Amino acid sequence: MVPIDDSNPAYIRDMNKCILCGRCVRACHEVTGIDAIEMAFRGNNATISTFGDKPVLLSRCETCGECVNRCPTGALVYRSNRQPTREVKTTCPYCAVGCQAYLGVRGNEIVRVRPTRRAHPTRGICA
Ligand code: SF4
Ligand code: SF4
């Protein structure tokens, strides 16, 4: 059994449930360009790891959630399973690019964020 990495406040990594499909690695590399995780080790020891096999909170991870959205097993799961009751389209204020996103709202709280698929410049990416 590999210890569960619950260092990140937004999601939990349980590599015991990983099937090594590589979707999270591709998302982190090809979609976000952050490269916080990678395939590591060989044979029965093969796993998805951060640089130096550190807890994900100490890695380059920016907690964008792209890997969690793509994981087909329970290896990567959000801490909160609260579902939004409505969505509000908005523009991310983080930088000057102007990515579009939908905020999932429950009551007066934002519980989810997902990218828009068609609007420029996002085109399905929320990095
Ligand atoms: S949350 Fe984002 S930055 Fe962090 S490992 Fe997943 S895809 Fe990479
Ligand atoms: S997406 Fe999930 S199952 Fe696939 S390699 Fe990543 S952690 Fe493992």
Domain chopping of the chain, boundaries: 11-78, 82-127
pLDDT of residue 126: 52
- Residue whose CB lies within 8 A of the most ligand 1 atoms, among 23, 25, 64, for a mutation test: 64
The domain 11-78: what is its CATH number? 3.30.70.20
- Tens-place pLDDT, residues 58-111: 999 998 888 998 999 999 999 988 889 999 999 888 888 888 888 999 999 988
pLDDT of residue 53: 93
- Residue whose CB lies within 8 A of the most ligand 1 atoms, among 66, 71, 114, 125, for a mutation test: 66
Report whether CATH 2.20.25 matches the domain 82-127: yes
Answer for the pair 112, 121: CB distance below 8 angstroms, yes or no: no
Mean pLDDT value across residues 15-41: 94
pLDDT at 43 > cutoff 80 = yes
Count of alpha carbons within 13 angstroms of residue 66, beta-carbon side: 24
Whether residue 121 has a cis bond before it, omega within 30° of 0: yes
pLDDT of residue 127: 44
- Give the separation between CA 116 and CA 30, rounded to whole angstroms: 17
Ligand 1 atom with the shortest distance to the CA of 31 = 7
